[in-house]
Structure 1
Amino acid sequence: MSNDIQNTEPLKRLLLDSFLLDSREAFHIARTTISSQNGLVYHCHNYAELFWIKQGAGIHVINGAEVPLQPGSLFMIRPSDMHTFKLGKPGMNMVITNIAFRKENLDFFRKRYFPGSDSFFWSNKKIPFTCQLAPGQLNEVSALADRLIGQPRDFLHLDFIMLHIFRLITSLRSEYLHIPHWLAYALENYNSPERFKRGTEEFVALAGRSPDHINRTLKKFLKQTLTETVNKARLRFASQQLIMTNSPIKTICYDCGFDNVPYFHRVFKKHYGITPLEYQKRNHKIF
């Protein structure tokens, strides 16, 4: 969710060459901990930038709007974008990893891998492309960045990490790419017995919004209610457990947050067309 604001700060233009050690470098990569507002200026630049939040939380001030940031928030910043960051409460900080490269490389990526694309860096929307990485995906890209920081900053290593990130993002569920960041975060992280047992209240806590607002947003983007969303997540987990484990159906039922086994059987059959036992016999594999 974004809020429009009127930014009165002077705009500073940043140049990629000021970050590169020499003209042979193809990109700049850095991991920075923002712990105060000092030095955070509203700026644009002559390069493309990709960044993600590893730890902490704050606000992305982008093209006159404010967008909440949390671990896993990833943005693709176009050369024409104007942005800066704001921290939340005093004492908070954010750990940001960013990769900056010449805008000419955008033409290469688009021509070779995304011809005619109006997504990623080539979106025409006010807010540039953004998505929410799941914890495992966040750890994956952060580990790649760790490896890259000590490597030559040439085209080979730029292509290596950018293609990996493009592949990772295109593998995300397509219905999650254009929904609000807070909802994507809740959907990706509502995925364990500990969360299922706390029901819709846990999903509300993950989303950080009121139940009514969550219901309206789910109906708008996914055509389903909060209760339906929670049950789908529980049933998806149940189906995985039926295939990949030898756990009794009763145990799986309770792990998914269902207190009543007959009710679990009914909702499972309604969703998958067969009972949990039939599903297990049809799909269970032992390796």
Structure 2
Amino acid sequence: MTQILCHADILAKGTQIRLTRATLAPTRPRTLHDHDFYELFWVQNGRVRHHLPEHAETLDEGDVVFLRPGQAHALQGRGEHALVVSLCIHPTAVKALAKRHPSVNGHLFWSKGAPVRNHRDIRQLAALNHAAVQLESSPCDTLAAEAFLLPLCAELTAESFADDIPVWLSQACTAAKSPAVFRNGSAGLVAIAGKAHPHVSRMMRKHLGQTPSDYVNRIRMQHAARALTTDNEAISVIAADCGIPNMSHFHKLFRAAHGFTPLQYRQKFQKQVVQPT
């Protein structure tokens, strides 16, 4: 029998959102639970087995899942120190966002399919955790809920794919945002797709208007830009971390993407930090 959780039992009077941190036991859950609220959770540490009515999937650190009311599920730790951060969100808060920002419809909470899963890299996860700390110290009212949800939803909606894109391609493109994949360039994306390179290239041109190299290099340059403004690593180290040890090629790609050389970008956007040479 599925357990039903109600927001009236979880949210304090006058609040719209509640954050909970939980270390998961490795034992398989006896049953799934359902809820009348929207739920957002992410894997903070370790690995998690996510049980759904039809199947189960393994989630890694940085994976974020959006669930609607009526989507039953359960969580199980994989190994030691499996930690998740979970948000219970009042239905009116989520519906209000969609009413004012119709571009979110069809994405995340507002998707018509299975629970939506995204991945945050180490820096994006750090930003998400920073926002979570701010939320915990807030009144958890409508303003606090929107201050947390809106930036995240706007960013992830912009990263979403059209409904007609093949599932294998959308999954490969999402996986390509991981350093373990994009460091290997277009070959990493093609490998994770599990298809022949010409087929992947044709489908990416059709659905995204980009080649695999174009797509991966855009992700690499986004990663490089974040690193240049948040780390003190030498530019050559950042280039190598992107999978581009050839500095001439790295500079060419970065200037094309951002309009500055890497050093100019760092000097313009990283303030009051001693710059490495």
- Shared fold (TM-score greater than 0.5)? yes
Percent identity over the alignment?
15
- For the 8 Å contact 2:93–2:145, the answer to whether it is kept is no
Report whether the alignment pairs 1:124 with 2:117. Answer: no
Matched letter for residue 129 of structure 1:
V
Shift of 1:170: 3.1
- For the 8 Å contact 1:118–1:124, the answer to whether it is kept is yes
Equivalent position of 1:14 in the other structure = 5
Q: Distance in 2 between matches of 1:211 and 1:24?
A: 46
Aligned-pair RMSD on alpha carbons? Answer: 4.5
Shift of 1:232: 6.4
Matched letter for residue 142 of structure 1:
N
For residue 97 of structure 2, give the secondary structure of its aligned residue in structure 1: helix
Matched letter for residue 86 of structure 2:
N
After TM superposition, the structure 1 = structure 2 runs for residues 1-287 of structure 1, keeping only pairs within 5 Å, are 10-20=1-11, 22-37=12-27, 41-88=31-78, 91-114=79-102, 117-125=105-113, 127-172=114-159, 174=161, 179=169, 181=171, 184-190=174-180, 195=183, 203=188, 212=194, 218=200, 222=204, 229=212, 233=216, 256-257=244-245, 284=261, 285=264
Task: Identify if the C-alpha distance between structure 1 residues 235 and 109 changes in structure 2 by more than 3 Å, giving closer, same or farther.
Answer: closer
Q: Distance in 2 between matches of 1:109 and 1:163?
A: 8
| Structure 2: runs of 5 or more not aligned | 229-233, 269-277
| Structure 1: runs of 5 or more not aligned | 1-9
- 4+ residue stretches of structure 1 with deviation over 6 A? 238-241
For residue 32 of structure 1, give the secondary structure of its aligned residue in structure 2: strand
Shift of 1:45: 0.5
TM-score if structure 2 supplies the norm length? 0.67
Task: Identify if the C-alpha distance between structure 1 residues 238 and 172 changes in structure 2 by more than 3 Å, giving closer, same or farther.
Answer: closer
For residue 58 of structure 2, give the secondary structure of its aligned residue in structure 1: strand
Q: Distance in 2 between matches of 1:223 and 1:34?
A: 42
Q: Distance in 2 between matches of 1:72 and 1:39?
A: 22
User: What is the total number of aligned residue pairs between the two structures?
Assistant: 244
Q: Distance in 2 between matches of 1:63 and 1:217?
A: 33
Q: Distance in 2 between matches of 1:171 and 1:140?
A: 17
Q: Distance in 2 between matches of 1:62 and 1:86?
A: 11
